[in-house]
A and B are shown apart, each in its own frame.
Chain A
Amino acid sequence: MTISHFSAVLLFSLFASVVFGITQRSEPRMMIRFGMFCFAMFVGGTIIASWLMWLIKH
């Protein structure tokens, strides 16, 4: 199996966010909100870090 680096980021973020959402909040609505927040932070943080590395290189 081969996946792109970005696909790996999306899969990792999705599964980790689901577990974080369920375990770190008590109410279902808050679980969904926190899971979405974690997903956005994972993916957004990766994209920002990627651009930072690109800027450092250039």
Chain B
Amino acid sequence: MTTNVQAQARPAQKITSLPPALILIAGWLVPGAGHLLLKKWTRAALLFVSIVAMFGIGLALKGKVYSPNAAELLDMLNFAGDLGTGLLYVMARAFDLGQAAVQVAVADYGTKFIVVAGLLNIVAAVDAHSLATGRKAS
């Protein structure tokens, strides 16, 4: 005879008193900062290293950092992805990085690394927000 044990669905608890919007914005501006504010040290460090390394490798491969350009749809999408890196994007634009014309195949890879770093950073920031609101358990 088997016994089915049904666990009661418990709503996840909030783990911080900080406003979730602050966690979200911090996570967007600096990769891993949202998790850092939630005292998830290891996750914050791994996210920071992964996203910054991806962005840095993209720049080292001579990838392009997009600027606002309403003329081309793909440029707008790439710009939106780049913007996801937060302050990394601002720094890259301030120091004029990623502005060289793409001439080799790996440079195109670099461009994709930069865009995906931004998209992953948005995923990480939303994850931190979900932890702050209690939507994600832990």
Binding site for B on A (CB under 8 A): 1-3, 5, 8, 11-12, 14-16, 18-20, 22-23, 26-27
A22 touches B120 (CB 8 A): no
Q: Mark B100-138, 1 if CB is under 8 A from A, else 0.
A: 000011100100110011001001101100000000111
A19 to chain B, nearest CB (A): 4
Query: Is the interface on chain B under 10, 10 to 19, 20 to 34, or 35 or more residues?
Result: 20 to 34
Contact A22-B106, Cβ < 8 Å, known A12-B113, A12-B116: no
Verify if B46 is at the interface (C-beta below 8 Å from A). yes
Q: Of the candidates B53, B117, B126, B136, which one forms a contact with A26 in the assembled complex, judged by CB atoms under 8 Å apart?
A: B136
Binding site of B, secondary structure by majority: helix, strand, loop or mixed?
helix
B116 touches A16 (CB 8 A): yes
B46 touches A22 (CB 8 A): yes
Verify if B61 is at the interface (C-beta below 8 Å from A). yes
- What's the Cα separation between A41 and B124 when bound, in Å? 20
Verify if B21 is at the interface (C-beta below 8 Å from A). no
B135 to chain A, nearest CB (A): 11
